Structures are given as C-alpha cells and as structure tokens.
C-alpha cells in the first residue's frame, strides 16, 4: 500500500489541490516523533488568505481522515503530520514482500524503453587494473538496477582496441616480443614490451615514426598488421573473460572502437554536409564556442582518427540500431570534457538524441595502508586485489569460530571466502557516491560489523539461520498473514518495516541519479536495523505464538530485501556462516 498516495487523495478532497501535486510536496519528517509523512501548507496560504500555521491546524482537525491506516493527524507549525497505524503498516509491508518475493522491488516504469550502459571497456593488451574495476562494478550494478525497473538493458563493452597505441605495440612486438612468453602470459608480455617501447622512444624518434606508420597500415587493413592486432585482441579478451566470470559480469555487446572504423567516413561526410568541419593546422575540428567548449578534434593532421570520431560513430550506430531512451557512458571523471564535446557535436549536428546521452563519471581509486607488488607500469591489477581479499577473508573465517559452522566442509568455507572477499571489493566501490575517490582499507573492507559486504552477507546468513532453526522447531510464519502481523508495533520493528518499504524507492532513485550508492546505503540501513531488532526481540522464544510467527515473517522479508539488494549491487550472499 502506498500511504503517500492514499493520504494525498484524502488531502486533495480537503484542499482542492491535485493529489499528484500533494504527493510531490509531501515530506518525510526528520524525526519519528514528528510523524511518518508531513504536508507543508505554504502553498495554500495565498488562496485561503490565512497563515500556513492556521491552515495546518484546521486540516489536522478535519474529520475526513477517518481511515484505518491513520493512527493520528497533528499540526506542527505550518505542517500537517500524519502518523500511520503501526499494526496496519506491518500487515501491509510484510504481506506484500512475502507474497511478491523479490518482485516487490520491481517496476514497469522502463517497459518499452531501451537503456544502453557502456561500461568496463578496458584497453586490450593491458592488465585489468583497479581503475577498470570501478567502471565494471558501477556499470554492472546500474545494468541490473535498470533491468529490475523494466528497461530493456543493453550492456556494451566498448573495448579500447584501436588507436595509435597499437602502432606502438606492433612495433614493440616485432622488435622485442617473446613468443613463448606471449603464449604463457599474454597480458604481462604485452605490457612489458609496451613499457619498453616508451623507455626506448625517448632516445629514438624513429620508433615514434615507425609506430605511426604501423598504425596507418592497420587502419588501411594491411594483412600483417591486422593479424597481429587480432591476435593481441583475442588473447586479451580471453584474459578479461576470467575476471568477468569471477565477478559475475556479462555483456550483450563487445563492439569496441575498431568496430566503428569503417563508419568513420560516414561520420566525416555527415559533419561535412552540416558544414561543421573546420581545417586547423592540417587537422579537422568542430568549433564549439557556443557551448563554451574547446574545439573537438575529429581527424588528426596525419589523417588518423581519434577517440571522439569513434565515439561519434558509436553514438550514431546505437541510435540507428537501438533507438535508445538513454545512452550511458560509465567512464572516469577525467573524461568529462571529452564527452561534453562529443555530445555537443551531436547536438550541433541536429541529432535530437544527444540529450539522451549521459556521462556517468566516477572518482579515483586509492589505497590506505595496503601494499601490492605492482606490475610494470606501476599498475595494481584487479585479480591481485581479489586474490588478496579472498585470502584475508579466509584467514578471518578460519580464526573466528563465530563466523563458521562446525560442520562446514573445506569447500564450503572456500566458497564463503570467495563470495565475501569479492563482495568486499565490489561493495567498497559502491558504498559511497560515485564521484568521490575510493579508498581501499583492509580494516574497513573486511569489517564484519561495519559498513561492508561482510556485514551484509553475515546479516543475511543470520536471518537464514533463524528461519532454519524455526523450521527445525516446527515454528512457521505461515499463520502470520492474519492479525498476527498487527502485533508488530515496537520501535525497532516499525523502523525496520519503514526501511523495507522504502527499498523500491531507493532503487528508483539509484536509477534516476545513476548512483548505486542510493541502494547500497538502503540495504546497509536495513541490515543494521534488523540487527537492532534481533538484539532487542525474542524471536523464537516468545511465548506468544502469533508474535513469534509475525517476527519470523519479518525475518523472511529481510532475507528477501538483502538478497535482492545485494544482487542488484553485484554481490552474492551465502546461506550460512
């Protein structure tokens, strides 16, 4: 039951305002003793020729609020505060969650609309580092959130598989490549020769020219250069697939930069037809003075293309192929100017879908008191972070008897460590607003009592344990669908129920702002509220059978909420710990 909608309808009859407008104005009071919903009366002051305080008092005294779900209505200054009947609220929230299961957070607001989420997009021939993990985790979560809201989601991995760096890589491989090393550890070998190229290039300008020549031959489709490039690409994708599999990440498209190379002439022609391309020192640019942006470089002076030209081609293709409602680019904040320019060029060219393209930026990744043996190029590789997190989680579980059951097999302990360890990394990326820099700290990541994945997973396992014990004792929540649920009236129970009820709204806010943090924060609040309820309530030992069943129903509802929320974040839970 949507109490805000119901209360808005009652207020509409009294005030004459449209219920939709009232719902928009309705607020959640900052303190529980101020009610559950509050309506500000300022908007009525002019038409009623009274102070908002007087209007609030008159509305609060109305006899039209005789509804079973309203406990009381009080005025406080210019606000009308509504107190929901706790028993009615409990029946409404818990019964809906138990009846609908994980679908209680689903929505149809996205039906018939396509959202493209471009994320991860690593550069081939380079290690998958912790920076790539940010876009991967963020984009994966957003994809699941949009999918839950009914959107047709297209997950795109726009591979960095083109550009002048591949001219450098081809040159380096021909000079210093080790075939056996490439077969044994392709990414490490490709990184080694790439770093070596940059070291040698400082003293040998001919290397720079050779790299340019090789890239031009690659763009022209010369067989030898293209074959080497294809091999580097295939080996890289095979390595990336292992990382994606560990994190449960999937894609619908791997169309990278190279896939749009044959569409570049069409982009150039399109911009020429619009009379937008200007020659500038041999290069070709689009002037963006009216957008207060620097010129957008489309073709370099040597005739080769650049990121912007390929992103323009990709956006045009996506519009033609998908007719998207949203085209989201999950890319780091340092690329903000680049995307502003690309979107401005599209807009200047008359592409109405430019307004539906959005850059979802994110901050940097930092480490606190954490040491890694960085690869060549001073890179912290994601797999090293995952492995270390799993190993440390395993140590914690093995050294703490409270975190494991005595009958657990070694395989089960390893599975728990794997899910908690990887979940810890994922949650660290998503527990704060995406534009903030992420600071990794083992103490915070693996804190089973803090704002962390281990805390969420452990709380879920605790609820499952309670339900298993209830089943063993022959106690069921099945009779909690009668008036038993109306017994849930304690402060801890009501606070938890409100958080459970607000989860669907948190998911919608996460989508509208492209901020999974909105969801992670809500799931964390639910877990913390459940543990307060658990510590202050007798669940299995209460002498009142009905209250015992009702509290078990809360446990089931919390199970559903945490499992659904963590899934949308990309985190796996475990059934017991």
Residue 440: give its domain's CATH number: 1.10.730.10
Domain extent at residue 13: 3-84
Do 74 and 173 fall within a single domain? no
Edge-first strand listing for the sheet containing 79-84? 37-40, 79-84, 70-76
Residue 529 lies in a domain: yes
Q: Which of 56, 84, 112 is the last residue of a domain?
A: 84
Rounded (5°) CA angle 264-152-97: 155
Tokens of 431: 């527990």
Q: Which of 86, 88, 129, 158 is catalytic?
A: 129
- Does 129 participate in catalysis according to the annotation? yes
Do 172 and 76 fall within a single domain? no
Amino acid 229: pLDDT: 93
Amino acid 480: pLDDT: 54
Q: Is the pTM of this model over 0.85?
A: yes
Chunked into runs of 10 residues, the chain (577 residues) has average pLDDT values of: 91 93 92 92 90 95 90 95 92 92 94 98 89 95 98 96 89 95 91 92 93 90 93 92 96 92 92 94 94 95 86 97 98 96 98 98 84 58 93 90 75 95 97 93 92 97 93 73 77 92 95 97 98 90 83 95 98 94
Residue 376 lies in a domain: no
Do 531 and 432 fall within a single domain? yes
Distances (CA, A) of 187 to 36, 129, 367, 372, 381: 56, 12, 24, 18, 11
Tokens of 524: 């964390």
- Does 140 participate in catalysis according to the annotation? no
Q: What is the DSSP letter of 20?
A: H
Amino acid 377: pLDDT: 55
Looking at the 3D structure of the chain, how many domains does it have? 3
Amino acid 171: pLDDT: 96
Q: Which of 34, 51, 84 is the last residue of a domain?
A: 84
CA 342 – CA 309 distance, rounded (Å): 8
Question: Are the beta carbons of 73 and 83 closer than 8 angstroms?
Answer: yes
Residue 368 lies in a domain: no
Residue 403 lies in a domain: no
Q: Which of 248, 265, 281 is the last residue of a domain?
A: 248
Tokens of 17: 């305002």
Residue 21 lies in a domain: yes
Amino acid 374: pLDDT: 45
Residue with structure tokens 């102070």?
A: 51
Question: Are the beta carbons of 169 and 125 closer than 8 angstroms?
Answer: yes
Do 186 and 67 fall within a single domain? no
Q: Which of 4, 86, 88, 126 is catalytic?
A: 126
Q: Which of 132, 319, 326, 348 is catalytic?
A: 132
Do 431 and 562 fall within a single domain? yes
């Amino acid at each position: 039951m949507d109490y805000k909608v119901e209360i808005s309808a009652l207020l509409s009859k009294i005030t004459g305002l449209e219920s939709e407008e009232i719902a928009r104005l309705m607020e959640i009071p900052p303190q529980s003793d101020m009610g559950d919903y509050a309506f500000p009366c300022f908007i009525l002051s002019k038409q009623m020729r009274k102070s908002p305080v007087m209007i609030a008092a008159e509305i609060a005294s109305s006899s039209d609020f005789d509804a079973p779900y309203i406990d009381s209505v009080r005025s406080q200054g210019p606000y009308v505060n509504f107190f929901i009947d706790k028993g009615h609220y409990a029946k409404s929230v818990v019964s809906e969650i138990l009846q609908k299961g994980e679908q209680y957070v689903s929505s149809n607001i996205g039906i018939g609309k396509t959202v493209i989420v471009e994320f991860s997009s690593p550069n081939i021939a380079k290690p998958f580092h912790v920076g790539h993990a940010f876009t991967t985790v963020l984009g994966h979560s957003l994809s699941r959130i949009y999918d839950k809201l009914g959107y047709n989601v297209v997950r795109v991995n726009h591979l960095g598989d083109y550009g002048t760096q591949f001219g450098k890589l081809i040159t380096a491989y021909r000079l210093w490549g080790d075939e056996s090393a490439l077969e044994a550890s392709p990414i490490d070998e490709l990184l080694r020769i790439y770093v070596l190229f940059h070291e040698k290039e400082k003293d040998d300008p001919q290397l720079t020219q050779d790299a340019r020549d090789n890239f031009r031959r690659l763009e022209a489709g010369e067989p030898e250069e293209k074959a080497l490039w294809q091999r580097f690409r295939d080996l890289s994708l095979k390595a990336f697939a292992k990382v994606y599999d560990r994190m449960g990440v999937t894609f619908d498209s791997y169309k990278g930069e190279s896939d749009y190379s044959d569409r570049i002439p069409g982009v150039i022609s399109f911009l020429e037809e619009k009379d937008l391309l200007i020659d500038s020192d041999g290069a070709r640019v689009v002037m963006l003075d009216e957008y207060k942006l620097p010129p957008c470089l489309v073709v370099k002076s040597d005739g080769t293309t650049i990121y912007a030209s390929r992103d323009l081609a990709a956006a045009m293709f996506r519009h033609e192929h998908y007719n998207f409602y949203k085209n989201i680019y999950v890319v780091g904040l340092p690329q903000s100017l680049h995307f502003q320019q690309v979107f401005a060029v599209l807009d200047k060219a008359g592409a109405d879908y430019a307004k539906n393209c959005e850059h979802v930026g994110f901050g940097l990744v930092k480490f606190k008191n954490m040491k890694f043996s960085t690869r060549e190029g001073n890179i912290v590789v994601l797999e090293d972070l995952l492995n270390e997190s799993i190993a440390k989680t395993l140590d914690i579980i093995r050294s703490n008897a409270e975190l494991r059951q005595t009958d657990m097999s070694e395989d089960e302990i390893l599975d728990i460590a794997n899910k908690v360890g990887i979940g810890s990394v994922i949650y660290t990326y998503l527990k704060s607003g995406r534009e903030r820099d992420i600071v990794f700290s083992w103490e915070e990541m693996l804190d089973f009592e803090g704002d962390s994945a281990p805390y969420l997973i452990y709380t879920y396992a605790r609820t499952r344990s309670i339900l298993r014990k209830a089943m063993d004792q022959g106690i069921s929540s099945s009779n909690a669908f009668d008036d038993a649920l109306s017994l849930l009236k304690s402060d801890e129970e009501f606070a938890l129920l409100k958080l459970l009820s607000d989860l669907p709204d948190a998911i919608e806010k996460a989508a509208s702002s492209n901020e999974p943090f909105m969801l992670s924060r809500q799931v964390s609040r639910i877990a913390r509220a459940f543990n307060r309820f658990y510590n202050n309530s007798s669940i299995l030992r209460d002498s009142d059978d009905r209250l015992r069943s009702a509290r078990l129903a809360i446990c089931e509802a919390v199970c559903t909420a945490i499992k659904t929320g963590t899934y949308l974040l990309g985190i796996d839970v475990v059934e017991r710990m």
